[in-house]
Amino acid sequence: MIDFQYDGVMADGKACQGSIRAPNEETARLRLIGQGVTPVRIAGAGGESSQDVPRGRGRVRLKRADILLFSREMAHLKQANMPLDKALAMLKETADTARLQVFISKVEEGVRGGKSLYQSLLPFESDLGRQYLVLIRAGETSGSLHVVLKELTVQLEADDKLRNYVISSMTYPVILLVVAVLSVILLLAFVVPQFREIFDSMGDKLPYSTRLVVDLSDMIRSHWMALLSGVTVMLFLGSRWTASADGRLRLDSLLLDIPLFGKVLRNLQLAVYFRTFGILLQRGVPMVDALRIAIDTLTNTALRKDIEPLVGLVKAGKRLSTGFVSPYLGKSSTPQLIRVAEETGQLDITLLGLADRYEDEGRRTMGRVLAAMEPLIIIVLGALVAFIIIAILGGVLSINDTI
């Protein structure tokens, strides 16, 4: 058994210190927790101290799953009227990852130092986002923090559900496309060369389709390194171009103009925008600030460029509905609905309804796109394979005709 010296915080928030006997540091920590003491420092007989959280990390990067778990558990604890510091202490002890434990410990340190939850979360703005922090501040100001945390949990879950739906929906078409490309390359690189010696004796008497397939096969086998290097260079230059402001704007405009796919992208982007805007207004955030924060959720720069003038329009005292004239909105009733909502004072509810409508429409359009994409890939793959096989058979039959 070892005597451990500790500094901690009791359940009532008072600091305490003392010693406890335990076979190891982890056991000592668990015993202190069982006694209602949250350990801050534990030092063994050699004088080495250990913080209750992992050390050596100046900056922790949060994942979306961490933010969702923190928001959900905090919403439950605050709904039970648990004090903020005690809720954080409990969450720290039940954190299932060291990353989340470090994050909660830093937030708890700020709260125990007299800061608000909003101020304690400010160092993690890059991970949490401006919308998250603004809503937390609005919840603390209005005394409805548990309601805001619950809303944030619902929104995070909805965002994750939408993201998972898009990823799962695109997985099969992408796999199918990759298999199609690889199948054609394997045919040209390994199957067609087996007939090369037979076709060489024919010279120019081979059908044009056969010569084309043989030439493609020779090019792939002889210059595969140059082709691979060329594709790599093109991808690198393309990434550099899209990283520039002008290149990103052109690419985003092109994506929005693609039939069906552009409509899906536009609807899903507007769904996130209107939902964020509506929630912020519901929590009492001023309209100009809500507009600025909602614009940050738009990742498509072309759509964002069309929506950004709304901030200046509202600051100039004009109606919000007069600014929704973006060509990307199409012939929709969105401006009219927003105008009616401004007149009736139900703008936040209308915006949330628009978010649901755009998300539903985006999902339906994506379903149609995927339904058309899968058979299209199969048809194109079948046509390419059939062309290669027919070209080879045509060459073989021409040899028989010659003989």
Rounded Cα gap, residues 397 and 403, in angstroms: 10
Stated pTM of the model:
0.65
pLDDT of residue 385: 82
- HSE-CB at 249 with a 13 A cutoff on CA atoms is 6
Q: What is the mean pLDDT of residues 271-279?
A: 85
Fold exhibited by the domain 170-403: Receptor-associated Protein (1.20.81)
pLDDT at 233 exceeding the cut of 90 = yes
Tell me if residue 229 falls in helix, strand or coil: helix
Class of domain 64-158: mainly alpha
User: pLDDT band for position 234 (50/70/90)?
Assistant: very high
Tell me how crowded residue 238 is: count the other CB atoms within 10 A of its CB: 12
Contact of 214 with 239, CB cutoff 8 Å: no
Q: Which residues are CB-contacts of 70 (< 8 A; sequence separation ≥ 6)?
A: 91, 100, 103, 104
Least confident of 41-45, 317-321, 334-338, 351-355: 41-45
End-to-end CA distance of the chain: 97
Rounded Cα gap, residues 225 and 244, in angstroms: 29
Rounded Cα gap, residues 330 and 310, in angstroms: 17
* pLDDT digits 0-9 by tens, 10-63: 655 566 778 888 777 767 776 776 677 766 677 765 544 444 444 434 456 788
Report helix angle 261-282 to 287-295, nearest 10.
Answer: 150
Least confident of 98-102, 161-165, 327-331, 378-382: 327-331
Enumerate the domain spans of the chain. Answer: 2-51, 64-158, 170-403
Rounded Cα gap, residues 386 and 382, in angstroms: 6
Tell me how crowded residue 118 is: count the other CB atoms within 10 A of its CB: 19
**Long-range Cβ contacts of 128-132 (<8 Å, 24+ apart):** 128/62, 128/67, 129/296, 130/293, 130/296, 131/276, 131/279, 131/280, 131/293, 131/294, 131/296, 131/297, 132/67
Dig out the tokens for 74 from the structure.
């905090």
Q: What is the mean pLDDT of residues 86-97?
A: 84
Rounded Cα gap, residues 124 and 107, in angstroms: 9
- 64-158 and 170-403 in the same fold: yes
pLDDT of residue 310: 85
Contact of 320 with 338, CB cutoff 8 Å: yes
Contact of 307 with 277, CB cutoff 8 Å: no
Rounded Cα gap, residues 138 and 150, in angstroms: 13
User: pLDDT band for position 122 (50/70/90)?
Assistant: confident
pLDDT of residue 193: 81
CB burial string 170-205: b at 16+ within 10 A, e below = eeeeeebeeebeeebeebbeeebeebeeebeebeee
**What is the Rg, in whole angstroms, of the alpha carbon atoms belonging to the chain?**
31
CB burial string 52-79: b at 16+ within 10 A, e below = bbeeeeeebebeeebbbbbbbbbbebbe
Q: How far is CA 348 from the centre of its chain?
A: 25
